[in-house]
């Protein structure tokens, strides 16, 4: 008998501090007009350095998701933590989150698929539930990208924000909010150098007494990434629809990764989704990488943009490159 995984709770959280485009005008040679027209971003949430780490943000999003599911941390069997900005290189952010949730003994691990991290983790959660129908999997996606942004580089520092989203995944016992109807993923490791943080890993190890330079921060070839993002997101969206015998008209709401409103618009146009069926919140959050999709889902639910009975299509794209697409039936 095949098991249908469901999401039974959603949550999100962003730090209190808001940095507007006008704030960034004081930091680098940029303008609200450039950022708004080129990206759609008006503001982003940023942690106060040293006060909040990725697991702190994930704790708040996870509490909301657990409350939404009517569950407590003690009910969890697994924690999957999607991030490219963990609290520490080692141990995993999942272990910090487990400690902060006041539980122990779970399978807890991080997963790095950059901006596609939530869908990669959701796929892993589906596998956990297929292995064990009693599994209760917390998928937390959380980023403190402000810690890896070069605040003197106008071409990247205006793009990113901090935040977290979470979902609780179980087998379908009738209490689920959304069935995961299908989910497919992809990647291409030939293009790693278009979007990366070069230093700090084994490729360019840290040196004792060495200086921190721009290699330690996010580097992005914007125009090239833009082109690949639109192309791959269109391809995987169409593949998923075709695989499930669905037409784009069968989708009630499209929730894409929030990297750039122009990418979202181009994608929607190519796939044939009308603007009123596309959920956008990049104006308030910026690009929060792995957290972008679960923040958007939880935000859309809070705004009643998602209602019971709706079929939702999600598509992501990130460094690697990685990409994915998913259909949720609410």
Using DSSP's 3-state secondary structure scheme, residue 303 falls into coil
Query: Binding of ligand UT7 at residue 226 (CB under 6 A)?
Result: yes
Is residue 239 within a helix (H) or strand (E), and if so which, with residue range? Answer: helix 222-243
Q: Which of 150, 222, 238, 248 binds ligand UT7 (CB under 6 A)?
A: 222
Per CB under 6 A, contacts with ligand UT7 among 294-323 are 317-318
Q: Which is nearer to ligand UT7, 170 or 288 (CB)?
A: 288
Beta carbons within 10 angstroms of residue 155's beta carbon: 13
Q: Which of 102, 223, 245, 308 binds ligand UT7 (CB under 6 A)?
A: 223
């125009």: which residue's tokens?
223
Q: Which of 22, 88, 152, 155 binds ligand UT7 (CB under 6 A)?
A: 155
The residue of the chain with the least Cβ separation from ligand UT7 equals: 222
Token output for 303: 């705004």
Beta carbons within 10 angstroms of residue 231's beta carbon: 15
Query: Binding of ligand UT7 at residue 154 (CB under 6 A)?
Result: yes
Per CB under 6 A, contacts with ligand UT7 among 274-293 are 287
Per CB under 6 A, contacts with ligand UT7 among 84-123 are 115
Enzyme catalytic residues? 115, 257, 287
Cα–Cα distances (Å) from 274 to 176, 223, 265, in that order, read 28, 25, 9
Per CB under 6 A, contacts with ligand UT7 among 2-31 are 30
d(Cα 129, Cα 149) in Å, to the nearest integer? 36
Q: How far is the CB of 323 from ligand UT7 (least distance, A)?
A: 10
Task: Please give the backbone phi and psi of residue 114, each rounded to the nearest 5 degrees, phi first.
Answer: 50, -130
Q: How far is the CB of 84 from ligand UT7 (least distance, A)?
A: 10
Binding mask 231-270 for ligand UT7 (x = CB under 6 A): ----------------------------xx--x-------
Binding mask 42-81 for ligand UT7 (x = CB under 6 A): ----------------------------------------
| Pair type for strands 178-187 and 5-13 | antiparallel
- By the 8 A CB rule, do 153 and 19 touch? no
Which residue blocks in 138-260 are alpha helix, DSSP H? Answer: 154-157, 222-243
Query: Binding of ligand UT7 at residue 141 (CB under 6 A)?
Result: no
CA 162 to chain centre: 11
Total interface residues for ligand UT7 by CB under 6 A? 20
Q: Which of 80, 137, 158, 301 binds ligand UT7 (CB under 6 A)?
A: 158
d(Cα 301, Cα 201) in Å, to the nearest integer? 38
CB burial of 199-211 (b: ≥16 within 10 Å; e: otherwise) equals beeeeeeeeeeee
Could you list the residues that contact ligand UT7 (CB under 6 A)? 30, 34-35, 38-39, 115, 154-155, 158, 222-223, 225-226, 229, 259-260, 263, 287, 317-318
């Amino acid at each position: 008998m095949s098991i249908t995984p469901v999401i039974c709770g959603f949550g999100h959280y962003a730090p209190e501090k808001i940095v507007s485009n006008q704030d960034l005008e004081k930091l680098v040679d940029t303008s609200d007009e450039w950022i708004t027209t080129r990206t759609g971003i008006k503001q982003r949430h940023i942690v106060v350095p040293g006060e909040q780490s990725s697991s702190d943000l994930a704790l708040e999003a996870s509490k909301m998701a657990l409350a939404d599911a009517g569950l407590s941390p003690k009910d969890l069997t697994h924690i999957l933590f999607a991030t490219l900005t963990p609290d520490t290189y080692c141990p995993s952010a999942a272990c910090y989150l487990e400690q902060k949730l006041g539980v122990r003994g779970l399978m807890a691990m991080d997963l790095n698929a950059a901006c596609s991290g939530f869908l990669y983790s959701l796929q892993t959660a589906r596998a956990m539930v297929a292995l064990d129908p009693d599994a209760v999997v917390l998928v937390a996606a959380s980023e403190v990208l402000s810690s890896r942004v070069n605040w003197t580089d106008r071409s990247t520092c205006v793009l990113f924000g901090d935040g977290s989203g979470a979902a609780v995944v179980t087998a379908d016992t009738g209490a689920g909010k959304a069935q995961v109807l299908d989910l497919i993923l992809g990647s291409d490791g030939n293009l790693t150098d278009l979007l990366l943080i070069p230093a700090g890993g084994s490729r360019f190890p840290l040196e004792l007494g060495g200086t921190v330079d721009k290699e330690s921060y996010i580097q992005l070839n914007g125009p090239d990434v833009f082109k690949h993002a639109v192309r791959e997101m269109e391809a995987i969206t169409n593949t998923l629809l075709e695989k499930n015998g669905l037409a784009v008209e069968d989708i009630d709401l499209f929730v894409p990764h929030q990297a750039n409103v122009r990418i979202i618009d181009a994608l929607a146009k190519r796939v044939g989704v009308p603007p009123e069926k596309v959920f956008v919140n990049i104006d308030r959050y910026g690009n929060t990488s792995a957290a972008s999709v679960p923040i958007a889902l939880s935000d859309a639910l809070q705004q009643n943009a998602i209602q019971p009975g709706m079929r939702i299509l999600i598509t992501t794209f990130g460094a690697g490159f990685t990409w994915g697409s998913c259909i949720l039936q609410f």
